[in-house]
Amino acid sequence: AIRAALEARGERRNRVLAPESSHGTNPATAAMCGFSVDPVPAGSDGRVDLAALKAKLAPDTAAIMLTNPNT
């Protein structure tokens, strides 16, 4: 859906930011959809390093993948 929406707008964004702490199926799904996955470091507490996330934002960023596990 994200790729189709971007293509409909004529945008060629191809990179997804995903936390290193995310479940492996999350970045794998983005890669299967043709996106380049750029890992974002997380602290020892598992939280995304916001400074690193901000530094990785770029015009080719298509999505930011975050999870909020409740288990």
Span 25-54, pLDDT tens digits = 889 999 999 999 999 998 888 889 999 999
Full strand arrangement of the beta sheet holding 61-64: 36-40, 15-19, 61-64
On the question of pLDDT at 61 being above 90, the answer is: yes
54 Cβ contact partners less than 8 Å away, ≥ 6 residues apart: none
Residue 70 is assigned to a structural domain of this protein: no
Mean pLDDT of the chain: 89
DSSP, res 58 = -
CA distance linking residue 57 with residue 48, whole number of Å = 14
Is 11:42 a contact under the CB 8 Å cutoff? no
> Against a cut of 0.95, is the pTM above it?
no
CA distance linking residue 21 with residue 40, whole number of Å = 9
Residue 38 is assigned to a structural domain of this protein: yes
Domain count along the chain = 1
Residue 58 is assigned to a structural domain of this protein: yes
Residue 28 is assigned to a structural domain of this protein: yes
Is 52:40 a contact under the CB 8 Å cutoff? yes
Domain range for 20: 2-64
Residue 6 is assigned to a structural domain of this protein: yes
Residue 13 is assigned to a structural domain of this protein: yes
Residue 69 is assigned to a structural domain of this protein: no
Residue 60 is assigned to a structural domain of this protein: yes
